[in-house]
């Protein structure tokens, strides 16, 4: 006799939603820090650094997230780091986020007219100050909408962490489906929860983009 979907199951799903949000937050934070570093290297004066950063981005963007998760999960074990699903997921998502955010922010940095770089150079500012004081504040404005858009992508992609045994929303749903056999209700509801999380962010991203267009 199987259980049917009830309030208890709904509670389990809502509790699992915490881990989805927390994983996305960690990924966004770790990816943001990594993204700033990689984006900086990507526009650095040194050609070797630019090339290294570009290769990093290309490799991580050419790899399915699932494979990256497995590589980190099994790879960390080999170099002696104890891997539970949490650590592996946090590292993998931070790597994933850093590559995508770096690519988004590189585009925004390069959208700033070259004259701004020249002007900053004429003021005898060194590279890191040119970037920090002159370019970054202008780039941040145009970077906001795509960054919020990427947050949606990140939230959705946390569902893949279920595959390495991280119990977030999608894995909780699979476990509940295994005892209730009501996949339409369970996964329909889970889709709804993701939608409630993602849709406002999508709208915000759109709104910010429109505002930016009118500001010009």
Partner 1 sequence: MDYVFQFDFIWQSRSELLRGALLTLRLSAETMVLGLLLGIVGAMARTARFAVLRGVATVYVELIRNTPFLVQLLLIYLGLPHIGLRFTPNDAALIAMVVNLGAYATEIVRAGIEAVPHGQIEAGRALGLRPLRIFRHIVLMPALKAVFPALSSQFILVVLGSSVISTISAEELTAIANNLQSQSFRPFEIYFTVGAMYIAMVLAFEAIFAALQRRLFPARHA
Q: Which stretch binds partner 1 (CB under 8 A): 5-13, 29-37, 109-117, 177-185?
A: 177-185
What is the distance, to the nearest Å, from the Cα of residue 14 to the centroid of all Cα atoms in its chain? 22
Scanning 7-15, 31-39, 130-138, 150-158 for contacts with partner 1 by CB under 8 A, the matching segment is: 150-158
Q: Which stretch binds partner 1 (CB under 8 A): 7-15, 29-37, 81-89, 183-191?
A: 183-191
Report if residue 86 touches partner 1, rule: CB under 8 A: no
Q: Which is nearer to partner 1, 24 or 94 (CB)?
A: 24
63 near partner 1, rule: CB under 8 A: yes
- CB 152 within 8 Å of CB 201: yes
Q: Does 160 help bind partner 1 (rule: CB under 8 A)?
A: yes
Contact between residue 34 and residue 97 where contact means Cβ atoms under 8 Å apart: yes
Cβ-based nearer residue to partner 1, 33 or 76:
76
> CA–CA distance from 55 to each of 9, 10, 107 (Å)?
45, 44, 16
Scan residues 65-84 and list those touching partner 1 (CB under 8 A): 65-68, 70-71, 74-75, 78-80
Mark 105-144 with x for binding to partner 1 (rule: CB under 8 A) and - for no binding: ----------------------------------------
Query: Is the C-alpha dihedral spanning 114, 120, 126, 131 positive or negative?
Result: negative
Terminal C-alpha separation, the chain: 64
**DSSP string covering 37-95:** HHHHHHT-S-HHHHHHHHHHHHHHHTS-HHHHHHHHHHHHHHTT----HHHHHHHHHHH
Task: Determine the Cα–Cα distance for residues 37 and 185; give it in Å rounded to an integer.
Answer: 43
98 contacts partner 1 (rule: CB under 8 A):
no
State the helix-helix crossing angle for 47-61 and 85-110, rounded to 10 degrees: 130
Cβ closest to partner 1, residue 147 vs residue 157 = 157
Which of 54, 187, 204, 209 touches partner 1 by CB under 8 A?
187
- Interface ranges with partner 1 (CB under 8 A): 59, 62-68, 70-71, 74-75, 78-80, 152, 156-160, 162-163, 170, 173-174, 177, 182-184, 187-188, 190-191, 194-195, 198-199, 202
């Amino acid at each position: 006799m199987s259980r049917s979907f009830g309030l208890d199951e709904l509670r389990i799903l809502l509790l699992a939603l915490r881990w989805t949000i927390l994983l996305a937050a960690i990924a966004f934070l770790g990816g943001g820090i990594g993204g700033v570093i990689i984006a900086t290297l990507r526009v650095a004066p040194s050609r070797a650094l630019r090339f290294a950063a570009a290769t990093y981005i290309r490799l991580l963007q050419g790899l399915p997230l699932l494979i990256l998760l497995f590589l980190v999960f099994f790879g960390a074990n080999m170099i002696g780091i104890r891997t539970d699903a949490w650590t592996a997921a946090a590292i993998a998502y931070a790597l994933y986020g850093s590559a995508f955010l770096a690519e988004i922010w590189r585009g925004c940095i390069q959208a700033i007219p070259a004259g701004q770089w020249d002007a900053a150079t004429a003021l005898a500012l060194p590279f890191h100050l040119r970037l920090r004081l002159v370019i970054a504040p202008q780039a941040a404005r145009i970077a906001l909408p795509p960054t919020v858009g990427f947050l949606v992508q990140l939230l959705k992609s946390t569902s893949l962490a279920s595959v390495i045994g991280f119990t977030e929303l999608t894995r909780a749903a699979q476990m509940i489906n295994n005892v209730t056999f009501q996949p339409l209700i369970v996964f329909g509801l889970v889709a709804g929860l993701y939608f409630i999380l993602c849709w406002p962010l999508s709208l915000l991203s759109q709104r910010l983009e429109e505002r930016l267009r009118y500001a010009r």
